Chain A
Amino acid sequence: MHPSDEELILGCRHGDEESFDQLFERYRSRLFTFIRRYVRDHQAAEDIFQKTFVRVFTRAGSFRRRAKVSTWIYTIAANLCRDELKRRKRRPTVSLDEPLPGHDPGHAWAALKATDDESHSPRAAAEEAEHRAALWRAVDALPDELRVTLELQTLHGLKYREVAEILGIPLGTVQSRLHNAIKLLRAKFRDVLEHGPEPGRG
Chain B
Amino acid sequence: MKKKDQDIDDVLIDYALGQLDPNDTARVELMLAERPELMREARALKRMVSHMGVSMIVPPPRLVSRTRRAAREARARRPGWRGVLPAALRRPLVPAAAGVVVLAIVALLVVPGLLPSRPGDVTTPHYTTPGTLGEELTSFMQSSLSEMRTLARGKDPGVEDPSERAAQAMLWQKEPLPEAQLEVLHDIETVWRTAYERAGPAGILSDETITELQDFVAQKRLVERIEALMFH
Contacts and interface: CB of A to CB of B under 8 A. Distances in A.
Interface of A: 6-7, 10, 13, 15, 17, 20-21, 24, 28-30, 32-33, 36-37, 46, 49-50, 53-54, 56-62, 64, 66, 75-76, 79, 82-83, 109, 112-113, 116, 131-132, 135-136, 139, 150-151, 153-155, 157, 159-160, 164-165, 168, 170, 175, 178-179, 182-183, 185-186
Contacts of B189: none
B207 to A, nearest CB: 22
Given A153-B17, A160-B19, A186-B48, A59 B57 contact: no
Contacts of A139: 52
Contacts of A116: 43, 47
A165 B153 CA distance: 9
B164 A154 contact: no
22 contacts: A32-B56, A36-B57, A46-B60, A50-B63, A54-B74, A57-B72, A57-B74, A59-B142, A61-B135, A62-B147, A64-B161, A64-B164, A66-B161, A83-B146, A109-B44, A139-B52, A151-B52, A159-B19, A160-B19, A182-B48, A183-B13, A186-B44
A21 B68 contact: yes
On chain B, which size bracket covers the interface? 35 or more
Nearest to A6: B122
B139 interface: yes
Contacts of A131: 51
Interface of B: 9-10, 13-14, 16-19, 40-41, 43-45, 47-49, 51-54, 56-60, 63-64, 66-68, 70-72, 74-75, 78, 122, 126, 132, 135-136, 138-140, 142-144, 146-147, 149-151, 153-154, 161, 163-164
Contacts, number: 152
